[in-house]
Amino acid sequence: MTLSSHVETHKPSATTSRFTSDDEILAAVSRVRETFDSGITRPLDWRERELRQLQRMVEDNEEEFLEALHKDLGKCRMEGVIAETGFIVNEIKLTLKNLRKWAKPERVKVPVAVMPGKAYIVREPLGPVLIISPWNYPFQLLISPLTGAIAAGNTAVLKPSEVAPATSAAVAKLLPRYLDASAYVVVEGGVAETTTLLAQRFEHIFYTGNGAVARVVMTAAARHLTPVTLELGGKSPCIVDEHADLDITAKRIMWGKFFNTGQTCVAPDYLLVHESIHDALLDKFERTLQHFYGADPQASADYGRIVNERHFDRLLPLLDSGTLVAGGKSERASRYIAPTILRDVSPDSPVMEDEIFGPILPVLRVSNVDEAIRFVNARAKPLALYVFTNDKDTAERVLSRTSSGGACVNDVVAHLGVPELPFGGVGPSGMGAYHGWHSFDTFSHKKSVLDKSIHLDAPLRYPPYGDNKLKWIKRLL
């Protein structure tokens, strides 16, 4: 398996196929390692200063970042602030507020057999890390893990997505103006640059993207026994039972599904709706979409576009996987696909094979919640799972009998807005987690320390042993 089979490229010009040469990449990796080895990233004062500079970068240049996001994805200002710039500023503020508490050594109990002494856990930086981000939230998913890496005292090489070239260029231009350029380096490029980066030794690799490339990343990491965090995706199901509040359900699902034009790793990928409320819910979906985006979503300033023509062409055939309830219109020139809802969808149809990652929502009928649970459990573990119901027992049954990276009851996507919750997948939807303290923890090594007193040295531990010592040892253990 090769990286080039799965990664899209964006060539910078007609005369060159690369943004960054191998020599430049090797020099950058060497530089961030030398900086880490110098020890300057370890003091908390230094980390806090870099975090404040990162916050300044976002706040000073928010308009430029929002413009880049609109150019790459047609992302409206509100979505850009909610999910990109505002999200990052809030995460940096949370990290600055809590960093010294997070970094304190954690005392643990010492058993009698090891006394006198004290034991504690020290969280120390890993070293140079590599962060590879995707195109759908190209700013948030690059800078959020960087926040954790800085907080934990690491240096980093950042590889933004070449599929979102405007955002990549903005970060590459602005980040060196605010952060220590010897500690944090942006490498732009596509397959060639990523392949060269993955051949280098890092102390951690943080990758957000799809499962195919994740296998390439893990294979490369294995050569150096480098630990990885993989934030992937999958078909996140949404179960709606007969006790759901249909008005709230319709608004929240339509918002979460078509936010960022459906190009969200935790968007509800398909619906399993109780047959008794199936038709009524679809009617409310139609009315909700018209309220959100008007009669013509293509003219709405709040509705984005598919990131590029390749993904447009990938999504277009999926429109034929069921009966149209709403949407279905498209225009390749502007990469527009209307917010689309499909009914009468077969579990074996093309739209149900892989993660959709676009503005198409298939709706399937179920006769009860147990049928929905069986349907979910027959498939790969998703990154997120959603259940809409006013019955607490039903919600608990779904949560306890399914496995997913995260979950919401009576909402979608919003669990990402709780920084105390770890965000990550399970099984094929990913490994490891981050956000808030969990980012700090991900980029830290937990070093165990025993500090033993020299003022008392029990003879029990030393030979010759004998039966009497063994008897006492058994009592102490």
Quote the tokens at residue 106.
């954690």
Please check whether residue 61 is in contact with residue 80, taking contact to mean a CB–CB distance below 8 angstroms.
Answer: no
What is the torsional sign of CA 444, 54, 195, 128? negative
Please check whether residue 298 is in contact with residue 267, taking contact to mean a CB–CB distance below 8 angstroms.
Answer: no
Q: Which of 231, 238, 355, 408 is catalytic?
A: 231
Q: Which of 76, 238, 265, 408 is catalytic?
A: 265
Q: Is 231 a catalytic residue?
A: yes
Give the residue from 255, 200, 206, 214 showing the smallest Cα distance to 412.
255
Quote the tokens at residue 311.
């993904």
What is the DSSP annotation of 409-448? ES-SSGGGG-TTS-EE--GGGEE-EESTHHHHHHTEEEEE
59 alpha-carbon distance from chain centroid: 22
For residues 413 and 436, give the distance between their C-alpha atoms in angstroms, rounded to a whole number. Answer: 17
Cα dihedral value 191, 197, 198, 200, nearest 10: 150
In three-state secondary structure terms, 456 is coil
Q: Is 91 a catalytic residue?
A: no
Residues involved in catalysis: 231, 265
